[in-house]
Chain A
C-alpha cells in the first residue's frame, strides 16, 4: 500500500492504495466518483477522461500513485458551486450532443481541454481533437456542433440559453 493525497473536484483525499490501482478505479471504487466511467481496457475509448492539473488524461492510463499530489477535476466537479453548468455541458445539452450519455463525461472533459488549448477551433480541429473519445450513438455531428457552440459562448461569455440555442441550432436544412 502506498499513501497518496489528491484533490478531486475541490476536496482533498488521503488514501492508502495498492500500487497497481488505476486512477479511474481509485476515483470510482474508493472515492465514489462514479460519474467517471470505464468503456474499454485498451485506452481507446476515452470515456474515463478527467482533467489532471488542467490537462485531459484518460484515467485508465495512469496509476493512482502517479496522481499523487495532483488536482483532479471530473465531470462531477465541472459545474459551478451553485450548479450552473460549464459552457461545454450546457452546449452538449442544447445541441443534443449526447444520446445514451455513456461517453459524455469523457467527451465533455476532452472538449474542455481542447477549448483551453484552442479557443476557436475549426470543425476539422474539433474532430481531430476528440479523436481519442469514441461515441457510438451520435455519429459525432452534434458533438462537433456542441463544441463549436461552447467555443462561441466561451469567447463571447454570453451564456447561451435553450431558447437562443433552439433558434440557432436548426436553421433550415441541417448540416
Chain B
C-alpha cells in the first residue's frame, strides 16, 4: 500500500504545518550567538597552523597589554584544571585512548587545534589580540595516509602509545554462531568479487556555526550551547571538570542543524566554561565558519575492502569486509564507535550465510572524525550496494534481479541476519515495485541500451540502492554490552494544566526536526485535546532534565514511545476523578476523543479537561488521587528500528567532459507509520541531498603537510539549489511491530540510501568503457580521468 491512498482522521498522519516556523521565518529565533549578557566577554581562540608540532614557546605578553583585553591564557596555564575531552565508547578493552586536552599543552596533532585563548570586552579586540600572540613550533612529521601510518617505523601521532593503531575489532559469524566460516564460503564460491572502496572525508557543515555562552552566577553555572546533546554536555562537564552536576545547567536553545556534527563534547565548550569560571564573568565564544571546518569533527574517511562470494545463479554465499577507519588526531565522543555502527549492516537486506568483518582505527594528524548523518551505516550501505552491482556485472545479471534472489522476502520477517540482528519487519518487494514504477525502470534501461548501441557521447546510467538501516539508538543493554558509557532510553513528561492546556517535556533535543509539531500531534490524539493546546519544551537540563537527546534517528522511535506512554498514564490518573464525578466504577469508563464515557450510558461523560480542573481544585478528590494531572514515562527500546526502501537514480554522464548529471531520482522509503508525512518527506529530501553531496560534490582534503585545503565554503562545495535535482518521493508503510505508533526512524535514511544509488548510476553509465569504479566525489575531473584510464587500459577501445 502506498501512503497516498490514506486519509487520516486524527492528528497522526496529518501534514501539520510546523509550530517552530513562526519564530524562524520572522527572525525571532534564539540562536546561542544572539545572546548578550551584562558584562559579557568575548573569546577568540588561537589555533595551530601546523598539523603536527611540538610547542616550544608561547609569548602572550603583548596580547595581554592590548586595549579591551581582559585575559590571555594557554594550555599550560590551565593544564591542571582543563581535563581531557571524553570518548564515551570503549570499543575494545585495549582501545588506545590518548589524552585530549581542550587546549594543547606541549604538542599539536591537527591543524586547527586550540593553543591559546583571549578574552576581551568585544569580539574584534579579541581577534586583534590573537595576532599578537607569538608561538614557537618545532615541526613534527605529518601522518596522513592510513596504510602508511600502520607500517613499521611510521612516525607516530602519539609517541606515548607506541603505535598509530587505535583498535582492531573483529566479528566472525562462525565464531559468533550466527553463520558459517567466511574462508570456507569463499573457497567454495563459484564467483568471488573483491573491491576496494574509499569513503572520502566529509564535513557535516551544519549552517549555524557552533556557539557557547557561559554565565557563572554564584548559584549555578549556565551554559547555552549550539549542541544536539545538552544532557551529555552537563554530565561530562560535571564528571570531568569537577563542578557538581546540580550546579550546572545546560541549554540548547534553537540549534541550526547538527547532522551528528553537534553530537559532541567540544573543546570550545570546555574552554568557554573554564574561562567563565576563571574570570567570574559571562563569556561567549562563536566560531567562524573557517574555524568550524577545521575544528568541528569530520565524518566518514574509511577504506573498505569487500569480498563477496556467490554461486553462478547469483546466490550469495559469503561476505568479507576489512575497514580502515581514520580517527584523526584524537578520539572524541564516539570516534572509534562510528565505523562500528555500520558493522551490523554490511550484509544489507541480503541473506548471507557467512560473514567476517574487521575494522582497524588509525590515528593521523588530522581533525578527529566522529558521527555524521548515518554514522557508519551510509558507509556499510555504500559498500554492499556497490558490491552487489559489481557482482551483478561479473555474473552478467540484471542488478535488480540479483538483489531479488538474495533479499529477505516479506514473509520471512522477523529475520535474524548473519550479524545477529533481528530485522522486525519490511517489505522490500513492495518498495522496489513502487520505486521501479515511478522511475519507469524498464524504459530507462531501454534508453540506456539504445545509447550504448549508438555510442552516444552522453551515456545513461541506472543506479540502485535497496537499503535497510538500524536506528532508534538504542537498547541500553546492547549499548552497555558493547562498551558504551551511557544508555539509550528516552523520557517524556506530560502535564495537563488546570485549564486543560498541556505542557510536554521531552528528553530529545531537536535541531530542525520539528519535534514541537510532531509531539503536539501525538499528544493531541492521545489526550483528545486540540493540537494548538500543546506546548513542547526541550533542550534545557533544568526543565527537561531526563533525556539522552537527539541523534541516530531515535527521537520518535524511542522518545515517541515514551510520550505515548506518558499520555496513557495521564489518562489513567484522570480516570478515577471522572468515575467519581460520574458516580460509576472506573472500569466502566471508556476514553475516546478526550471524553470519559460510561459504557452503555450515552450522554454520561466527563472530558479530561473537566477532570484536570476538578483535580486541581481538589475539593472532592477520590482517595489516592493527587491534586495534579501529570505523568512521566521512559522507554528503553528492546531492539532497533529498521526502516528500509528502494532508491533509484538515473545519471547522464558526458563521456567527453566527465560531467555527471542526475536526470531523475526516485526514493520510496518505508519508515513505518508517518506521524507527519510532510516532515518525513522533508527529512528524506535533506537526507538524499547530503547523500548526493557525498557522491558528487564534497570532499575534505589535506595537502601533504596536513593543511586542510577545503577550509571554507569556497573549496568545500556543499551543493546549492542549482546543483540538486527535484526528487520523486513516496512511501510504503510497514508499521513497526514494536512501536505503539508503528513508527520507525527517518532522520538518516535518505543519506544512508542515496550515495550508492548515485555512484552505481555513474559506474553503470560507464561500464561499457571498462570502468568498474569511480572514486567519490564523482566530479567531472575524476570521472573524466577514470574514463581515460579505462580507455588506455583497454587499448583505447570500448570493452
Interface residues of A (CB under 8 A from B): 18, 20-21, 28-29, 33-42, 44-45, 47, 74-76, 78-79, 85, 89, 92-94, 96, 98-105, 108, 123-124, 126-128, 130-144, 162, 165-166, 169-170, 172-175
Q: A40-B712, A131-B721, A135-B207 are in contact. Are A104 and B25 (CB under 8 A)?
A: yes
In chain B, positions 696-728 with a C-beta closer than 8 Å to chain A are 712-714, 718, 720-722, 724, 726-728
Query: For A74, what are the chain B residues with a Cβ–Cβ distance below 8 Å?
Result: 27
The chain A residue sitting closest to B31, CB to CB, is A37
Q: Known contacts A37-B31, A42-B289, A101-B20: does B678 contact A96 (CB below 8 Å)?
A: yes
Which of B34, B714, B718, B720 has the most chain A CB atoms closer than 10 A to its own CB? B720
Given contacts A76-B26, A133-B721, 11 further A-B contacts (CB under 8 A): A34-B34, A35-B26, A45-B713, A76-B28, A100-B208, A100-B511, A101-B29, A139-B687, A141-B727, A169-B678, A175-B726
> In the complex, what residues of B have CB within 8 A of residue A76's CB?
26-28
Contacts of B254 in A (CB 8 A): 101
Q: Which residues of A contact B25 (CB under 8 A)?
A: 75, 85, 89, 92-93, 98, 101, 104, 108
B799 CB-CB contact with A under 8 Å: no
Say whether B37 faces chain A, with CB atoms less than 8 Å apart: no
* List of 3 A-B pairs having minimum Cβ-Cβ separation, nearest first: A35-B27, A102-B256, A101-B24
Is the pair A139, B26 in contact by a Cβ cutoff of 8 Å?
no
Q: Which residues of chain B are near A166, meaning CB under 8 Å?
A: 15, 17
Residues in A neighbouring B718, C-beta threshold 8 A: 134, 136
Is A35's CB under 8 angstroms from B29's CB?
A: yes
Among A42, A103, A172, contact of B4 (Cβ-Cβ < 8 Å): A172
CB distance from A146 to the nearest CB of B (A): 10
Query: Is B771 among interface residues, defined by CB-CB distance under 8 A?
Result: no
* CB-based contact A100/B713 at 8 Å: no
B286 to chain A, nearest CB (A): 8
8 A-B pairs within 8 Å (CB atoms) are namely: A37-B256, A101-B25, A102-B206, A133-B721, A134-B207, A135-B207, A139-B685, A142-B685
A115 to B304: give the CA distance in the assembly, Å.
47
B4's closest neighbor in chain A, by CB? A172
In the bound complex, how far is the Cα of B665 from the Cα of A175, in angstroms? Answer: 10
Q: Is B255 an interface residue (CB 8 A)?
A: yes
Q: Which of B235-272 contact A (CB under 8 A)?
A: 254-257, 259
* Chain B residues, CB < 8 A from A141: 685, 724, 726-727
User: CA of A143 to CA of B724 in the docked complex: distance in angstroms?
Assistant: 12
A101 contacts B21, C-beta separation under 8 Å: yes
- Return chain B residues, CB-CB under 8 Å to A105: 27
- For residue B290, CB closer than 8 A to chain A, the reply is yes
What separation, in Å, do the CA atoms of A85 and B25 have in the docked complex?
Answer: 9
Which B residues are in CB contact (< 8 Å) with A35? 26-29
A31 to B729, CA, bound (A): 44
Q: Give bound CA distance, A87 to B29, whole Å.
A: 20
Residues of A within 8 A of B633 (CB): none
A37 touches B677 (CB 8 A): no
B652 to chain A, nearest CB (A): 16
CA A75 – CA B685 in complex, angstroms?
A: 25
Chain B residues near A101: list those with CB within 8 A: 20-21, 23-25, 29, 254, 256, 512
Question: B17 touching A162 by the CB < 8 A rule?
Answer: yes
Residues of B within 8 A of A85 (CB): 25-26
**B682 touching A138, Cβ below 8 Å:** yes
Question: Given the known A-B contacts A136-B207, A136-B718, are A96 and B712 also in contact in the complex, defined by CB atoms under 8 Å?
Answer: no
- With a 10 A CB-CB cut-off, give which of B22, B714, B726, B729 has the most chain A CB atoms: B726
B residues in contact with A170, CB < 8 Å: 15, 677-678, 681
Contact count band on B = 35 or more
The A-B contact count (CB < 8 A) is: 193
**CB under 8 Å from chain A, chain B span 720-749:** 720-722, 724, 726-730
Give min CB distance, B646 to chain A, whole Å.
Answer: 15
Do the beta carbons of A139 and B728 come within 8 Å of each other? no
Tell me which residues across on chain A come within 8 A of B101, comparing CB atoms: none
Q: Is there a chain A Cβ closer than 8 Å to B124's Cβ?
A: yes
For the complex, give the distance between the alpha carbons of A47 and B207 in Å.
8
- Chain B residues with CB under 8 Å of chain A are 4, 15, 17-18, 20-29, 31, 33-34, 123-124, 205-209, 254-257, 259, 288-290, 438, 511-514, 677-679, 681-682, 685-690, 712-714, 718, 720-722, 724, 726-730
Q: Kindly state the separation between the CA atoms of A72 and B724 in the bound complex, as whole angstroms.
A: 32
Report A115 CB to chain B, min CB distance, Å.
Answer: 15
Are B513 and A99 interface neighbours, CB within 8 A? yes
**Contact across chains for A102 and B207 when beta carbons are under 8 A apart:** yes
A165 nearest in chain B by CB position: B17
Residue in B685, B712, B713 whose CB lies within 8 Å of A138: B685
Residue of A nearest to B26 (CB): A79
Nearest CB of B to A120, in Å: 18
Q: Is the Cβ of A39 less than 8 Å from the Cβ of B721?
A: no
Question: How far, in angstroms, from A95 to B671 measured CA to CA in the complex?
Answer: 21
| A41 contact set on B, CB distance < 8 A | 288-290, 712
Q: What distance in Å separates the Cβ of B2 from its nearest Cβ neighbour in chain A?
A: 8
Q: Give bound CA distance, A37 to B254, whole Å.
A: 13
Bound-complex Cα distance A75 to B15 (A): 26
Chain A residues, Cβ within 8 Å of B34? 28, 34
Is B27 in contact with A131, judged by CB distance below 8 angstroms?
A: no
Bound-state Cα–Cα, A77 to B687, Å? 32
Q: Which residue of B lies closest to A124 (CB)?
A: B722
Given contacts A38-B209, A93-B17, A94-B17, contact A104 B721 (CB under 8 A): no
Task: Find B686's partner among A78, A99, A126, A131 (CB 8 Å cutoff).
Answer: A99
A136–B31 contact, CB under 8 A?
Answer: no
Chain A: which residue is nearest B373 at the CB level? A136
Are B205 and A136 in contact (CB-based, < 8 A)? yes
Nearest Cβ on chain A to B508's Cβ, whole angstroms: 15
Query: For the complex, what is the distance from the CA of A141 to the CA of B22, rounded to whole Å?
Result: 20
Query: What's the Cα separation between A38 and B124 when bound, in Å?
Result: 15
Among A101, A123, A124, A174, max chain B CB count under 10 A is at: A101
CA A29 – CA B29 in complex, angstroms? 16
CA distance A39 to B26 in the complex (A): 17
- Taking a contact as CB atoms closer than 8 A, the residue among B288, B681, B714 that contacts A44 in the complex is B714
Tell me the complex Cα distance, A141–B712, Å: 25
B residues within 8 A CB of A34?
A: 27, 31, 33-34
Q: Does B17 contact A136, Cβ atoms closer than 8 Å? A: no
- Minimum CB–CB distance from A125 to chain B (whole Å) comes to 10
CB B260 to nearest CB in A, in angstroms, measures 12
B257→A173 contact, CB < 8 A: no
Q: Across the interface, do A136 and B686 meet the contact criterion of CB distance under 8 Å?
A: yes
The docked-state distance in angstroms from the alpha carbon of A124 to that of B714 is 23
Known contacts: A45-B207, A174-B681. The answer to whether A140 contacts B689 by CB under 8 A is yes
Q: Is the CB of A138 within 8 A of B714?
A: no
**Residue in chain B with minimal CB distance to A92:** B25
B720: chain A residues within 8 A (beta carbon): 127, 130-134, 140
Q: Report if A99-B206 is in contact (Cβ < 8 Å); known contacts: A35-B26, A128-B722.
A: no
B165 to chain A, nearest CB (A): 34
Q: List, in ascending order, chain A residues with CB within 8 A of B678's CB.
A: 96, 169-170
Select one of B205, B514, B713, B724 contacting A140, CB under 8 A: B724
| Also in contact, A103 and B722, with CB within 8 A (given A92-B21, A134-B713) | no
B40 CB, min distance to chain A CBs, angstroms: 12
| Chain B residue, CB-CB nearest to A33 | B27
Is B26 in contact with A127, judged by CB distance below 8 angstroms? no
Contacts of A75 in B (CB 8 A): 25-27
**How far does the alpha carbon of A99 sit from the alpha carbon of B684 in the complex, in Å?**
12
In the assembly, what is the distance between CA of A34 and CA of B26, in Å? 11
Residues of A within 8 A of B726 (CB): 123, 141, 144, 175
Contacts of A47 in B (CB 8 A): 207
Q: Is the CB of A40 within 8 A of B26?
A: no
Among B28, B255, B513, B728, contact of A175 (Cβ-Cβ < 8 Å): B728
* Cα-based distance from A118 to B720 in the complex (angstroms): 20
Q: Is the CB of A42 within 8 A of B712?
A: yes
Output the least CB separation between A55 and chain B (Å). Answer: 19
Q: Which residues of B contact A79 (CB under 8 A)?
A: 26
Considering the complex, give the chain A residue whose CB is closest to the CB of B205. A136
A104 to B26, CA, bound (A): 9
